Structure 1
Amino acid sequence: MNLSAVDLNLLVVLRSLLATRSVTRAAKAVGLSQPATSHALSRLRSLFDDPLLVRSGRLLVPTPRAEALRVPLESALAAVESTLAKPPRFDPATAKRTFSIGTSDYGQLVILPPLLERFAKIAPGIDLRLRDQSSGPISEWLAGGEIDVVLSPRTQGLGHMGLHMQPLFNERFVSLVRKGHPRVKSKLTLAAFAELPHAFVAPRGTPGGVVDDALRQRGLSRRVALVLPGFLVAPPIVSCSDLIVTLGERVARPFLGRFPLRAFPPPIPLPGFDFNVFWHDRMHSDPGHIWFREQIAEVAQGVRTSSLTPMR
């Protein structure tokens, strides 16, 4: 039998006929007229090459072929109805699910702690898996379902069709030096900034960026003495050396009370950057995924509105 030529509505009529044994009652149950239901029964008899239901007094009685169809018909229609039903409501309090995040150690430090604290209270069954967003093809990972979201300021390489983006907050830069640095007293001057050896965070291994661009516009350059793969090692290294590092303020703040560091506004204007969440269209309407993105956005709202310690 060619399934593409079968009108599945006929099977719904057959189920009702088997349950009611009456064309009139079956028609009422499926919302058809009695003539339309009689016509459907005629088509069913042709389809199965069997009378299916024959009259016995005022009722229709099923043939052995119809009886044999009863159970598999119920199972098949139940499966179709289940497939077409709306997904169940996502309940974070009882859900058991793992979400994967692609991000750098910046996102891990700024977003992950408050997100985990939030999940511990409202969604104890939710697990997280983190993946370094600098180590692979992010667009392909999202499209293939290897990760659920990307948290990143970068948009390069994320122009894949089917991706959604939501800005979470805007970040500004600060420059860190150790306390007692011989070249930096009450303020960080442009001369000192250009002359000091710099640490530079380059997750993808390629130096260069907004600091170099800003210096170049003023006919200046800097010496990058140390290139690091992540943000979290930069403040401890700077605290025990004469290096200077410029990085996002929110990733710098947690280190100021733990290491002998001072934070200054960079002596040249530097554009801030948006920190964003990306996800693929394939997960856009998934109830659990919608909830997950909402939690990230609410955590980011707290990050965005939290007061920042004055520079020192």
Structure 2
Amino acid sequence: MWKSIIDMAIIVQMNLASVDLNLLVAFEALMEERNVTRAGQRVGLAQPSMSSTLTRLRALFADDLFVRSASGMQPTAKALSLARPISDALGQIRGVLAPGSDFEPAKARRRLSIAVTDYGDLVVVPSLVKALRREAPGIDLVVRPIIDAAESVASLERGDVDALIGGHLPGSARVTRHLLFEERFVCIRDAKRAKQDVSLTGEVYTRLPHALFSSAGGDGLPGAIDTMLARHGRKRRTAVTLAHVVAVPFAVAGTDLLATMAERIARRFAAAAGVTVVPLPYDVAAFPIDLIHARRALADPALRWFIELVDRACKSI
């Protein structure tokens, strides 16, 4: 609470009676869109009117705020310092004024959309769908794939999707990251071959050929595993690269291949594929599985409830 008050000090110091709150809404749109025309469309203003609004904002804060560049309207240092307190202030106002603050999930009729990684699709979405059907059967859910993580964040900022779910997702100053849980890496081997070896040592790990999941194709970029091996002066051979993570256990089964993958996915498909889950013979830090949403989402009672639902659904994963 106190931090929010301190953050808003730069605004409160002004004579609020002379400030048109619509200017702050326009500032928020400009900060997120970085484009005068798109920002105007978002707040219901034609391009000339939005340009005039930007002129008023510049006069209000005695700063250029946004400067044209080849990549769009870039915020100045002053604009960046204003972004958080203005967003927080508008969020609180929206929360007070939002209709349906007594949101009733069981009676709600709405369409929500999320974008997820392969991991989120396989591990989080099934539990989320069960919880959604149980608590809010009138809410429809659209699940889209995250192909380009940076573009998905931009899509979230534009309001094209309501949330992103997955691991290793980038962020931005205009979104909020919420930790759902942590995941760790394990190894999988063909079940019959695994029984023949007492343990998977570091030497065996690097000697065996590996199967690798890479949605980008090719060998992908060096990840946490390759970085860790490099620190130990070791390198693995990637014998097979697969475009879908669910294909990895089935490719490993019946072969001499070894694969390193997220534990919850490995255990979900181990029995069906005929592979055994074994510990990774190196220490690799667990990685977070996050839900990312736009800052303005908290002003929407339905989205606040949905974020809480995702969090609760993940408790049983």
Partner of 1:140: 154
Where do 5+ consecutive residues of structure 2 fail to align?
A: 1-95
> Do structure 1's residue 186 and structure 2's residue 198 form an aligned pair?
yes
| Amino acid across the alignment from 2:187 | S
Map 1:177-216 to 2 at 5 A. Answer: 177-181=189-193, 185-205=197-217, 206-216=220-230
- The alpha carbon displacement at 1:203 in A equals 2.4
Amino acid at match of 2:124: I
Is 1:243–2:274 an aligned residue pair?
A: no
Amino acid corresponding to residue 283 of structure 1 in structure 2: A
The answer to whether structure 1 residue 91 and structure 2 residue 100 are counterparts is: no
Task: For structure 1, list consecutive stretches of 5 or more residues without a partner in the other structure.
Answer: 1-83, 304-312
SS of structure 2 residue aligned to 1:109: helix
Question: In 2 relative to 1, CA 86–180 (structure 1 residues): closer, same or farther, beyond 3 Å?
Answer: closer
- Is 1:111 the counterpart of 2:85? The answer is no
Q: CA deviation at 1:161?
A: 1.9
Shift of 1:282: 2.5
From 172, 176, 180, the counterpart of 2:184: 172
Pairwise CA distance, 1:252: 0.9
Q: Residue 148 of structure 1 aligns to which amino acid in structure 2?
A: D
Q: Is the 8 A contact 2:181 2:289 kept in 1?
A: yes
Normalised by the length of structure 2, the TM-score is: 0.65
CA displacement 1:174-202 (0-9 Å, x = unmatched): 10010222896121111111011111122
Give the aligned CA root-mean-square deviation in angstroms.
1.8
- Which consecutive segments of 4 or more residues in structure 1 shift more than 4 A? none
Determine what percentage of the aligned residue pairs are the same residue.
30
**Deviations 1:63-110 (CA, angstroms, capped at 9, x unpaired):** xxxxxxxxxxxxxxxxxxxxx954113221111111111111211111
Deviation track 1:250-281 (CA, whole Å, cap 9, x = no partner) reads: 11111122121111111111111011100011
State TM-score, norm by structure 1: 0.66
Match of 2:143 among 113, 130, 133: 130
- Between the aligned partners of 1:216 and 1:110, the Cα distance in structure 2 is 30
**For residues 85 and 270 of structure 1, do their structure 2 counterparts lie closer, same or farther at Cα, with a shift above 3 Å needed?**
closer
1:307 matched residue in structure 2 = none
Q: Tell me which amino acid in the other structure corresponds to 2:117.
A: S
Equivalent of 2:299 in 265, 285, 289: 285
Q: Which residue of 2 aligns with 1:232?
A: 246
Aligned partners of 1:177 and 1:245 also within 8 Å = yes
**SS in structure 1 of the partner of residue 289 of structure 2:** strand
Q: Which has the higher helix share?
A: 2
CA contact (8 A) 2:200 2:281 kept: yes
Name the SS of the counterpart of 2:260 in structure 1: strand
Q: Give distance in 1, aligned partners of 2:189 and 2:181.
A: 26
Give the corresponding residue for 2:167.
Answer: 153
Shift of 1:133: 1.3
Instruction: Give, in whole Å, the separation in 1 of the partners of 2:162 and 2:289.
Output: 17
